[in-house]
Amino acid sequence: MTYTEALDYIHSVCWTFTKPGLSRISELCEKLGNPQKSLKFIHVAGTNGKGSFCSMLDSVLRAAGYKTGLFTSPYVKVFNERMRVNGENIPDQTLAAITEAIRPIADSMEDKPTEFELITAIGFEYFKREQCDFVILEAGMGGRLDSTNIIDSSLLSVITGISLDHTAYLGDTVEKIAAEKAGIIKPGGTVLFCGNSESVEAVVENRAKEVGAAYRFADKSSLCITDSNLDGCTFDFGSYRSLRIALLGLYQPQNAANVLCAVDVLREKGVYIPDSAVREGLLAARWPARFEILSNAPLLLFDGAHNPEGIEAAVNSVKQYFGNCKICVLTGVMRDKDYRYIASKLSEIAHHAFVITPDNPRALPANEYAEVLAECGMAAIPFSTVEEAFAHAMAFAQSTNTPLICLGSLYMYCEITGLLEARN
């Protein structure tokens, strides 16, 4: 099986949210010899901040000398990003070989696995073959019935925070969503809650008590940002002084503080992580499409924010970096998001909007979104292609010396970076 054939097979599997449960992934992993049972996991769920948290913790553990596996979703540019060992994507030939080995097992199952279940099994098998010391395992959309939750135990369960997203599948209140995410908490384990909602915290803490897990709260009250600009951020936290991260966005010091709280728990469990590895790992951490600078002339940033909480964080970051100066945005959204609220938040920072239809069946048409943005006071222009919108937005930003930020959907990232590379 070639790499292309492997991807074709993975994507040909019927991916659907209407098949909840762990029976298929349990059967698939059992027939594979349960590769997940030989691994140590830090299991991470939540609405926003999972990817950045996982990336920073992975970087810290690698700096401490451990061999790490990192399982995340969705991918931004290439599928292989979803499974990494020591910061490197799974090689094409390895992905093809593991998929070829798993295919006859998956095809033989009466109740076929979903795409995400298949990907999860491939990840487990890859990390086992690589003999990873630790696997940072990001849950998919949910928690309780997420295929990653097939693991029997975790060194640490982490819930980064909860907000309204995927309400059709997880629940229409943050408390209901929290109950689903809290399903990753393992009996006798430890859970670290990193959010700031008292009602959500109560749900997570109660679940921990129900299963006999230790509950820890990521108290960020001592976080003090001493310097923040487009080159990065310096901050103090707890006993740490002058820690630095290169990741941009006001929310990243919060994510870094959560990582430091996780490091404390891991140290208590006997994992050796020196302070030097903490400093080195945090500074080295990179995570694409999260307030990432793509160009300096004109200044072009990309942020993957696509739900109300994420947009709020992006808007607050723009205010921090650019003050009262209005910027322009290149944006598109999914129809199932609260796009009216998102538009109202964008109006606080932007005077011009270049609107596209993301390449996704759930996308809101550009002309419809442009009307909503215009109602919020922006000069909003819909475009039929991302290429056309990008050309006009870059020309406008260049001629007016205005920062341009692309946000609203991660699905734009690959095309935007490709168009930028073509310009250069």
DSSP string, 57-109: HHHHHHHTT--EEEE-SS-SS-GGGGEEETTEEPPHHHHHHHHHHHHHHHHH-
β-bridge mates for residue 301, sequence order: 293, 405
Q: What one-letter code names the amino acid at 227? A: D
Q: What backbone torsions phi and psi does residue 376 show, to the nearest 5 degrees?
A: -90, 5
pLDDT at 14: 60
pLDDT at 424: 76
CB atoms within 10 A of CB 395: 11
pLDDT at 376: 97
pLDDT in tens, the chain (424 residues): 999 999 999 998 764 444 678 999 999 999 999 999 999 999 999 988 899 999 999 999 999 999 999 999 889 899 999 999 999 999 999 999 999 999 999 999 999 999 999 999 999 999 999 999 999 999 987 788 899 999 999 999 999 988 655 444 454 688 888 999 999 999 999 999 999 889 999 999 999 999 999 999 999 999 999 999 999 999 999 999 999 999 999 889 999 999 999 999 999 999 999 999 999 999 999 999 999 999 999 999 999 887 888 899 899 999 999 999 999 999 999 898 889 999 999 999 999 999 999 888 889 999 999 999 999 999 999 999 999 999 999 999 999 999 999 998 887 899 999 999 998 7
Three-state DSSP class for 346?
A: helix
Q: Which residues contact 59 (CB under 8 A, 6 or more apart)?
A: 87, 281, 282, 284, 285
β-bridge mates for residue 354, sequence order: 330, 381
Three-state DSSP class for 257?
A: helix
CA–CA separation, 152 and 256 (whole Å): 27
pLDDT at 166: 43
CA–CA separation, 40 and 61 (whole Å): 13
pLDDT at 16: 47
| The overall pTM is greater than 0.85 | yes
Q: What backbone torsions phi and psi does residue 107 show, to the nearest 5 degrees?
A: -70, -25
Tokens 């920073």 belong to 56
State how far the alpha carbon of 245 is from the alpha carbons of 171, 256, 257, 326, in Å.
Answer: 35, 8, 11, 26
Length, in residues, of the chain: 424
pLDDT at 173: 84
CB atoms within 10 A of CB 341: 13
Q: Among 412, 402, 228, 419, which residue's Cα sits nearest to residue 299? A: 402
Three-state DSSP class for 359?
A: coil
CA–CA separation, 183 and 139 (whole Å): 11
Going along the chain from its start, the domains and CATH numbers come out as 3-284 (3.40.1190.10), 292-423 (3.90.190.20)
Residues 49, 247 contacting (CB under 8 angstroms): no
Q: Among 275, 270, 314, 280, which residue's Cα sits nearest to residue 407? A: 314
pLDDT at 170: 54
